[in-house]
């Protein structure tokens, strides 16, 4: 009897974790600071399997995991990086590779990936590798 209850609880836990993981978006449109360049369509699902931890990108949420993401509020990057409170926080409106937080993290990782695996599909180099064409206004 106890064994049946234990197995039932284990199955319920596995289902709950799977349901929470299902809440993680497969695709994300990054539109923070897209004033001069178009948005970036980000394959979140593909990056879930490649990043060592969620904190690689979600650096303010060290305890974030795919399993607990549905129970957390994950703020967009622009909340801090569009108009930073601290002068030391990178600003996403900066277009350089050394001061834009997306460029600093994303491009660095893509370059490292390209060096390790040249045939990867990770875009690098040209802006249009990540940014969609800016819609005419």
Helix (H) or strand (E) holding 78: helix 78-81
**Residue 97's domain is classified under what CATH number?**
3.90.10.10
Question: Are the CB atoms for 37 and 126 separated by under 8 Å?
Answer: no
Q: For position 20, what pLDDT does the model report?
A: 45
On whether residue 88 sits in a domain, the answer given is: yes
Residues 12-69: tens digit of each pLDDT: 555 444 444 447 889 988 887 777 778 888 899 988 888 889 998 899 999 999 889 8
Confidence band (pLDDT; 50, 70, 90) for 102?
A: confident
Question: Are the CB atoms for 84 and 92 separated by under 8 Å?
Answer: no
Q: What is the mean pLDDT of residues 100-126?
A: 86
Verdict on whether the full-model pTM lies above 0.85: no
Quick one: DSSP state of residue 107? I
On whether residue 7 sits in a domain, the answer given is: no
Quick one: DSSP state of residue 24? S
Where in the sequence is the domain holding 36, given as residue range(s)?
Answer: 21-129
Quick one: DSSP state of residue 89? S
Q: For position 31, what pLDDT does the model report?
A: 83
Count the domains in the chain: 1
From the list 77, 57, 70, the residue with the least C-alpha distance to 21 is: 70
On whether residue 12 sits in a domain, the answer given is: no
Q: For position 17, what pLDDT does the model report?
A: 46
- Mean pLDDT, the chain, integer: 81
């Amino acid at each position: 009897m106890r064994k049946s209850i234990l197995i039932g609880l284990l199955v319920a836990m596995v289902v709950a974790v799977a349901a929470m993981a299902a809440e993680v978006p497969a695709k994300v449109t990054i539109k923070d600071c897209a004033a001069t360049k178009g948005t970036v369509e980000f394959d979140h699902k593909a990056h879930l399997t490649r990043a060592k931890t969620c904190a690689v990108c979600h650096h303010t949420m060290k305890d974030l995991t795919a399993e607990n993401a549905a129970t957390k509020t994950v703020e967009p990057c622009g909340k801090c990086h569009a108009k930073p409170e601290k002068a030391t926080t990178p600003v996403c409106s900066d277009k350089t590779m050394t001061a834009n937080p997306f460029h600093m993290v994303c491009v660095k990782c893509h370059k490292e990936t390209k060096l390790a695996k040249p045939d990867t599909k990770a875009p690098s180099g040209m802006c249009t590798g990540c940014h969609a064409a800016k819609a005419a206004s």
